[in-house]
Amino acid sequence: MKSSTVLVVLAACVLVAGIFVLPGTVFSGSASTKATAETLKQLEADFMKAAAEKGSAGYMSYYADDAVELPNGGPAIPGKENIAKGMGFLDDKNNRLIWTPVGADISASGDLGYTYGTYEFDSKDKDGKPVVEHGKYTSIWKKQKDGSWKVVLDMGNTSEEAKK
């Protein structure tokens, strides 16, 4: 009878440890999965790869449904669906958009961040001659309810051609 009491107490201790100790260490990945500026820079690389491989569908997969696009010289475009209407140029294999994040940061709360950098857009004019546009961009990223990061605001503007 005494050994069964010891087993019950031992089982209760294990259960209490499992309830109070393990969730903070084993089941909670918050410390190891906290986003950093490098997380956002890696997301930018993945974002660009998706655009290169899948065109506009890959590009738009990184936008939140309520995103806003601030295009160069144009009015704000609210909503992923509306933004997607203008991204068909990414499906043309004659066009190539590449960008390089220069800086990034994450809020102290860990759910909002930004990246900024430079881009190059290569295309062809109506005569088939190469056209190169250089510019800079800023993207605001927000952690979604499912834990993924999506662009909620994106803007870019052209710059003078890089000096050679």
What pLDDT shows up at residue 117? Answer: 96
What pLDDT shows up at residue 162? Answer: 55
How far apart CA 67 and CA 9 sit, in angstroms, is 55
Q: Which of 42, 56, 156, 164 is nearest to 106 (CA)?
A: 42
- Polymer length of the chain: 164
How far apart CA 140 and CA 138 sit, in angstroms, is 7
| Statement: residue 80 has pLDDT above 80 | yes
Q: What average pLDDT does range 137-150 have in this prediction?
A: 97
What pLDDT shows up at residue 95? Answer: 93
What pLDDT shows up at residue 163? Answer: 53
Q: Residues with Cβ < 8 Å from 68, sequence gap 6 or more? A: 76, 77, 78, 79, 152, 153, 154
What pLDDT shows up at residue 164? Answer: 52
Least confident range from 2-11, 13-22, 77-86: namely 13-22
Question: Which residue's structure tokens are 């190059």?
Answer: 120
What pLDDT shows up at residue 105? Answer: 97
Tens-place pLDDT, residues 13-38: 333 333 333 333 332 233 347 899 99
The two three-digit tokens of residue 89, written as one number: 């140029």
pLDDT grade, residue 161 (50/70/90)?
A: low
Q: Is the dihedral of CA 81, 82, 84, 85 positive or negative?
A: positive
**Residue 97 CB coordination number (10 Å):** 18
